Amino acid sequence: PAPPTAAEASRFLAQSSMGATRAEIDKVVSRGYAGWIDDQIAMARPTSYWGWLVAGGYNVAANSNSYAGFDAMVWSQLIGAPDQLRQRVTTALLDILVVGIDGLNAQWRPFLMAAYMDVLADNAFGNYRTLLGAVTTSAAMAYYLTYLNNRKADARTGAMPDENYARELMQLFTLGLYRLNNDGTQQTSNGAPIDTYTQADVTQLARVFTGLQLANNDNSSPDRMRLPLVMTASLHESGTSTVLGASINGADGMGAVNAALDTIFAHPNVPPFIGKLLIQRLVTSNPSPAYVARVAAVFADNGKQVRGDLAAVVRAVLLDSEARGSAALTRAQAGRLRTPVERLTGWARAFGATS
């Protein structure tokens, strides 16, 4: 294809970065869309969110109950980091796999968020199944969706496992409420959408996410907040759970977690559901079913029989004819509103703001 014009490069960067700069526009013109994406995916992270906080000296005991450093940590990377495609995909994933700092009922909240955002950033071009595993064993997610120290049912008291994560994992992170065709349209029966899962699936899946705890009890520093959760057998439901028609053996706690995630990841809803969400956060709020189908096909198989390859999915989203073609420039329902964060970072990057 012909090299993109500066205007076309700017439009591309509106979809693939936190804001265009003159230098970045020139890179896209020089390298082409695919070349720029390849360069960005190959780029090492200059620093982690966690490392930024530590370098700033925020890991002192006096900050254990404060928000100190959090805002500056995030803005510094969104505005200043060179790995802009990773930053943009990370913010998209944070919109999908949501954790918010104000919802963390714990000490060292900036570090909890830093560890979680590092999970998203480190896996932004990895595999979605790997990302689901890292999110599930993240301390931040466990605090946010209240399954930290989740216990098996107690017949004496009537206590049941917390269902929060089990429900949100299926509803928001993987499947959605209704069964989908490959193009993201809903499957129906007698004119009504078909539920993807039942309350019984939620209850059974909640049994799987019992027994997960922090890796240690040392709260003198934030270090344990970035360690993966560990399984405590005495709190875990060791019986068999049935999730989406699959039997999950609970005898091995982490084995059961992985089996449940494998079952959900293999569901046919995942490619169109996640594909459409990424399109909406990068390119357009109203993608055509054909656009969703093309991206879902890449999610299902990257061409090498690998499912969930996010690097391939991001390429498919950004290089699709509906993203790069000129028809969207005159179509009223095309495009998307910039978020307030993108509006600010776009201004700051364009004008070289450094603080």
> Could you report the per-residue pLDDT of 283-339, keeping only the tens digit for each?
999 999 999 999 999 999 999 999 999 999 999 999 999 999 999 899 888 999 999
Q: What is the mean pLDDT of the chain?
A: 96
Residues in the chain: 355
Q: Which residue is associated with the tokens 């439009």?
A: 11
Whether 355 shows a pLDDT value over 90: the answer reads: no
Q: Cα separation of 324 and 54, whole Å?
A: 40
Q: What is the identity of the amino acid at 73? A: M
Confidence at residue 256, expressed as pLDDT on a 0 to 100 scale:
98
Nearest to 33 by CA among 7, 12, 18: 12
**Beta partners for 180?**
186
The 10s digit of each residue's pLDDT in 171-222 is: 999 999 999 999 999 999 999 999 999 999 999 999 999 999 999 999 999 9
Confidence at residue 94, expressed as pLDDT on a 0 to 100 scale:
98
Q: What percent of the chain has pLDDT over 70?
A: 100
Q: Cα separation of 257 and 208, whole Å?
A: 6
The 10s digit of each residue's pLDDT in 9-48 is: 999 999 999 999 999 999 999 999 999 999 999 999 999 9
The pTM is what? 0.96
Label each residue of the chain as H, E or C. CCCCCHHHHHHHHHHHCCCCCHHHHHHHHHHHHHHHHHHHHHCCCCCCHHHHHHHCCCCCHHHCCCCCCHHHHHHHHHHHCCCHHHHHHHHHHHHHCCCCHHHCCCCCHHHHHHHHHHHHHHCCCCEHHHHHHHHHCCHHHHHHCCCCCCCCCECCCCECCCCHHHHHHHHCCCCCCECECCCCCECEECCEECECCCHHHHHHHHHHCCCEECCCCCCCCCHHHHCCCEECHHHCCCCCEEECCEEECCCCHHHHHHHHHHHHHCCCCHHHHHHHHHHHHHCCCCCCHHHHHHHHHHHHCCCCCCCCEHHHHHHHHHHCHHHHCCHHHHCCCCCCCCCHHHHHHHHHHHCCCCC
Whether 354 shows a pLDDT value over 90: the answer reads: no
Contact between 175 and 198 (Cβ < 8 Å): no
Whether 102 shows a pLDDT value over 90: the answer reads: yes
Average pLDDT over residues 145-161: 95
241-243/230-231 β-pairing: unpaired
CA separation, residue 202 to residues 5, 185, 198, 241 (Å): 50, 24, 7, 10
Average pLDDT over residues 58-81: 95
Confidence at residue 2, expressed as pLDDT on a 0 to 100 scale:
84
Average pLDDT over residues 162-166: 97
Whether 1 shows a pLDDT value over 90: the answer reads: no
